[in-house]
Chain A
Amino acid sequence: MKRPTLVGLAGLCLLALVFEALVALGAVSPLTLSRPSSMVLAIGDLVREESLIRAMLTTFGQTFAAILIASAVGMPLGFLLYRFRTFGVAYDSWLGALFAAPLILLYPLFLVIFGRTLQMVVFMGVLTGAIPIIIHVRQGLLEVQPIFLNVARAFNASAAFTFWRVMLPAAVPTVFTGVRLGLVYALVNIIGIEFLIDYGGLGRLVSEMYFRYDVPGMYATIVFIILISTTLFWLLARVQNRLRRL
């Protein structure tokens, strides 16, 4: 392991010891800050009594459903916006604005339409996940190097061949960036929605622990969410590096 990583982990352990000592010595109330040791113990309770694993699978399942639908909808839309340039240019800045807009705040509207259901949570994931996919598919196709297209033309390749065998492979890294961003957005928004409406997987669990004043359980769930989302995003970044090197 490299030195910065080691120092970082040592610092983390030291911080945990300081928190442990602060609570143990009574400087901070255990109702405010959970002891790191009870947090670790709480994980066991969460798995046994609160079906933490099921909550995680629920959240991940919703996220993957959302990203699948978002890809199925967003990729053809991105292609159409590339193919019909006028529409692409017309909607380009709108998509950029939507990408930056606080779409999660619209959730009460969809709560009214869908009710507190799985579909509503997935829908919010699709809404937030599809936008980066549309943007990046269009961009990936627009940025295919002209020399590739010239070579295809020199070989008298058909339009279909040029699209499937030349343009699409060239656009894959950019498209994947879109899918990765879509997944990050979908996951973050789905956990947020779950927390806000007390429904579904991990987000709901945090809210439940808070309202039950189960401080160690609440801290443990939050740390758990940070760990699994970080792991997922790290894996996606690795896949992306692979794709870029091909």
Chain B
Amino acid sequence: MTSRDKPPLVGAVRLITVVLLGLGWEWLARSGLLYEGVVPTVGAVAGALWREVSGAELYRHLAITGAEVGAGFVIGVSGGTAAGILLGAFPFAGRVMQPYVNALATTPKIIFLPIAMILFGVGPASKVALGALSGFFPVVLSTAAGMLQIRAVHIKVGRAFNFSGAQMVTKVYLPSLVWPLITGMRLGLGVTVIGVLLGEVKLSSGGLGFMAINYYNHFQIAGLYALLILIFLLAVSANMLMTAIGNRLARGPS
């Protein structure tokens, strides 16, 4: 929507909503409707937020989660891209596999965590595996769909030059797959983060998810709120970063 047909007062409505939500939260916290401490006041959360950001503990756990997400994302994206290209390049294989890929793509990935823990132990490796598995599906789906959109003439030119398989991938397929890949990676990063964090929440000894569930277990609710706010901010900025990279690539020479 352009700014021209944007109705007036949109900014005002947003501002008023945020203020009302803040006041409502504060009222709920002070009303005594819920057990004491269940919903901390805005001030308490702000204090906890400051403690987290200025302490060292947060960064130690952030590093663990970051490493797990990074490793899982790289594995998931490379696997997903390779599988997507194969499914697209061999249409029969694509038709055989598609229903299975679709089915697995919509099932909750978290239920595979026990298998990951049996295979890789309860340490960070199982969280990497869950993150990779989560990130794999959006990438494979969007790459395979993107393969169908490649202009036939590009593929014919590649064949005419007698390209090898590797040359087809690097010189024909990948350059045409930039957009589907970016879309897949943006969705993939989101679900990789969720996969890793949920894995940490279930069973782990480090990372932001572990930190959150630890706060919960010790009833440090203000800290829990602060941590979840930070996690959401991180997730949103990761998403924005991927979009920015995508826009940058789309503008550059291709």
- B residues near A159, Cβ cutoff 8 Å: none
The smallest beta-carbon distance between B78 and chain A, in angstroms, is 23
Tally A residues with Cβ within 8 Å of B.
49
Contact indicator A226/B1 (Cβ below 8 Å): no
Bound CA span A15–B71, Å = 28
- Assess whether B153 is interfacial by the CB under 8 Å rule: no
- Assess whether A161 is interfacial by the CB under 8 Å rule: no
Greatest chain A CB density within 10 A among B34, B110, B111, B190 is at: B111
- Assess whether B169 is interfacial by the CB under 8 Å rule: no
Contact indicator A105/B198 (Cβ below 8 Å): yes
- B residues near A189, Cβ cutoff 8 Å: 108
The smallest beta-carbon distance between A94 and chain B, in angstroms, is 8
- Assess whether A239 is interfacial by the CB under 8 Å rule: no
Bound CA span A182–B216, Å = 28
- Assess whether B10 is interfacial by the CB under 8 Å rule: yes
Using known A-B contacts A90-B10, A105-B197, A192-B198, determine if residue A215 contacts B118 with beta carbons closer than 8 Å.
Answer: yes
The smallest beta-carbon distance between B87 and chain A, in angstroms, is 12
- B residues near A12, Cβ cutoff 8 Å: 100
B interface, over-half SS: helix
- Assess whether A218 is interfacial by the CB under 8 Å rule: yes
Closest chain B residue to A29, Cβ basis: B118
Using known A-B contacts A87-B13, A89-B6, A100-B190, determine if residue A222 contacts B115 with beta carbons closer than 8 Å.
Answer: yes
- Assess whether A246 is interfacial by the CB under 8 Å rule: no
Contact indicator A109/B225 (Cβ below 8 Å): yes
Which of B1, B103, B235 is the one whose CB lies under 8 Å from A101? B235
- A residues near B232, Cβ cutoff 8 Å: 101-102, 105
A residues 205-224 touching B (CB-CB < 8 Å): 206-207, 209-210, 215, 218-219, 222
Contact indicator B10/A112 (Cβ below 8 Å): no
B residues 39-54 touching A (CB-CB < 8 Å): 39
Which of A86, A196, A207, A229 is the one whose CB lies under 8 Å from B9? A86
The smallest beta-carbon distance between B61 and chain A, in angstroms, is 14
- Assess whether B145 is interfacial by the CB under 8 Å rule: no
Which of B108, B216, B235 is the one whose CB lies under 8 Å from A192? B108
Contact indicator B193/A102 (Cβ below 8 Å): yes
Bound CA span A91–B119, Å = 44
Which of A86, A109, A191 is the one whose CB lies under 8 Å from B10? A86
B residues 188-220 touching A (CB-CB < 8 Å): 190, 193-194, 197-198, 201-202, 209, 212-213, 215-216, 219
Kindly list the 10 A-B residue pairs having the minimum CB-CB distance in the complex, ordered from nearest: A210-B114, A4-B95, A230-B103, A90-B13, A188-B108, A108-B216, A102-B194, A192-B110, A8-B96, A4-B96
* 8 further A-B pairs in the complex, CB-CB below 8 A; given A8-B99, A104-B198, A222-B112: A8-B96, A90-B11, A105-B231, A106-B228, A108-B212, A111-B216, A112-B216, A196-B110
